[in-house]
Amino acid sequence: MQIIHNAISDSLNEQIILFIYDAVQRPQWANSQFHWALGLVRGVLGNVMSTNNMPPELRNKIIDELRPYLPSTRNIDVTLNVWPPTAALNWHNDEQHRFGATVYLNDNWDRDWGGLFLYEDKETDQMLGLIPQKNMLVLNDKEEWHAVTPIALGIEVPRLSIQIFGKNDEETN
């Protein structure tokens, strides 16, 4: 698992957050309980709201700023996620993708709010955890097992993130 701090600029971060809060008012969001693989959400009480419906220039700007850190591929999916209370993600390893990556957007995230990123380091077999930090990129290009702990009730703001999946160039979807 690679962890890169300040992977995107503050100006892009702000642009994405403004888009999310504007877009959340429109019916363009998918619900994790209905659109994610059952194993990812089995037993999870909450739902993550996700959208890939964003202006192409925003999507391209995200990819352009992250490209130096991502493995080479022409086929990249970008999704914006809003994590309200009780949302979580079960253990998985992104094996169906060439890589998976997350960028955290919140200015501040308190560990008491949950939403911690847990992962098993393939080299040491240790389970490690990260508190989301603004503009931090977590890149999984080695199919390492990872999960997200449940978001706590009574949080001040939802957890916001960008999810990026790279596919093999021969894949179409």
CB crowding 6-16: b at 16 or more within 10 Å, else e = ebbeeebbebb
> pLDDT tens digit string along 118-129?
999 999 999 999
Alpha helix (H) residue ranges in the chain: 10-23, 32-35, 38-41, 56-66
Sequence length of the chain is 173
The mean pLDDT of 46-50, rounded to a whole number, is: 91
Q: What are the structure tokens assigned to 84, written together?
A: 């309200």
Which whole-number Å values give the CA distances from 171 to 6, 78, 166, 167, in the listed order?
30, 16, 10, 6
Whether 173 has a pLDDT exceeding 70, the answer reads: no
Question: What are 13-44's pLDDT values in tens digits?
Answer: 999 999 988 888 776 788 888 777 888 888 88
User: Could you give the percent of the chain with pLDDT greater than 90?
Assistant: 72
pLDDT band at 169 (very low <50, low <70, confident <90, very high): low
Q: Is the pLDDT of residue 171 over 60?
A: no
Mean pLDDT, the chain, as a whole number? 91
- Residue pLDDT, tens place only, 137-165: 999 999 999 999 999 999 989 999 999 99
Domains of the chain by residue range: 2-167
Query: Chain centroid to CA 76: how far?
Result: 14
> How far apart, in whole angstroms, are the C-alpha atoms of residue 33 and residue 16?
24
Question: Can you give the pTM of this predicted structure?
Answer: 0.87
CATH of domain 2-167: 2.60.120.620
